[in-house]
Chain A
Amino acid sequence: RKEVEQDPGPFNVPEGATVAFNCTYSNSASQSFFWYRQDCRKEPKLLMSVYSSGNEDGRFTAQLNRASQYISLLIRDSKLSDSATYLCVVNAGGTSYGKLTFGQGTILTVHP
């Protein structure tokens, strides 16, 4: 089983749609969770951290379910500029200070 698994995608949605990405992780000791966005041939950029209580940043909402070891990202009112690959990222936990594990990513294409 991979340490971090994401929806395979790709997702193709019209502008204005709501889209959700799911991610599961295998290390129950993981304590920090993130969503990164990566544009084509560019570096990943931190989109948002994911907190236990869930958190929202504008059109983006992240949820964490520790019992199920599951993370989600919801994008409302999709824009053309949201087209990118979304990476689910989890810290290794334990003594592996700062070590992150990245999912393979889910490709999102928003079309007019």
Chain B
Amino acid sequence: DGGITQSPKYLFRKEGQNVTLSCEQNLNHDAMYWYRQDPGQGLRLIYYSQIVNDFQKGDIAEGYSVSREKKESFPLTVTSAQKNPTAFYLCASSPGQGRPYEQYFGPGTRLTVT
């Protein structure tokens, strides 16, 4: 089955530690995205990547880093510089050509930092 996987589903970390969230897709989609969702709020874009080895900052990139070494993978690192890292993190991908704006989401990772 084609889809987007994120792991782990729940993640707990101590303040001051960096943590990397995994996102993998086997849909052969060109573009991938990371969002953050806080309770009662809409999704906010952290980073996005249109092609391999290229990515752009979204609206709230500070304290986060990404890489796109393979088309299938777009890991997100939440660094200790991120002031409020506890949130629901969602990865998405889109076909790119033809339907560049339709995005499909993975199941998300709930990160709790104490």
Chain A 1-31 residues near chain B, CB threshold 8 A: 4
B41: chain A residues within 8 A (beta carbon): 104
**A51 proximal to B (CB < 8 A):** no
Shortest Cβ distance from A4 into B: residue: B42
Q: How far is the CB of A71 from chain B (nearest CB, A)?
A: 14
Q: If the complex has contacts A98-B33, A99-B48, are A43 and B101 also in contact, measured as CB distance less than 8 A?
A: no
How does the 8 Å CB contact mask read for B17-59 relative to A, with 1 for contact and 0 for none?
0000000000000010101000011111100101000000010
Interface contact B104-A97, CB-CB below 8 Å = no
Q: If the complex has contacts A34-B101, A49-B102, are A99 and B58 also in contact, measured as CB distance less than 8 A?
A: yes
Shortest Cβ distance from A45 into B: residue: B105
Query: Chain B: how many interface residues by the 8 Å CB criterion?
Result: 25
Chain B 61-103 residues near chain A, CB threshold 8 A: 88, 90, 94, 96, 100-103
Cα distance, A94 to B48, chains bound together (Å)? 16
Cα distance, A25 to B65, chains bound together (Å)? 29
A87: chain B residues within 8 A (beta carbon): 42-43
Top-7 shortest CB links A-B: A43-B105, A32-B101, A102-B42, A102-B43, A104-B42, A91-B101, A98-B100
Which residues in A have some Cβ–Cβ distance to B below 8 Å? 4, 32, 34, 41-46, 49, 87, 91, 97-100, 102-105
A–B pairs, 30, beta carbons within 8 Å: A34-B102, A42-B107, A42-B108, A43-B90, A43-B105, A43-B106, A43-B107, A43-B108, A44-B43, A44-B105, A46-B102, A46-B103, A46-B104, A49-B102, A87-B43, A97-B31, A97-B50, A98-B31, A98-B33, A98-B50, A98-B94, A99-B48, A99-B58, A100-B103, A102-B35, A102-B43, A102-B44, A103-B42, A104-B41, A104-B42
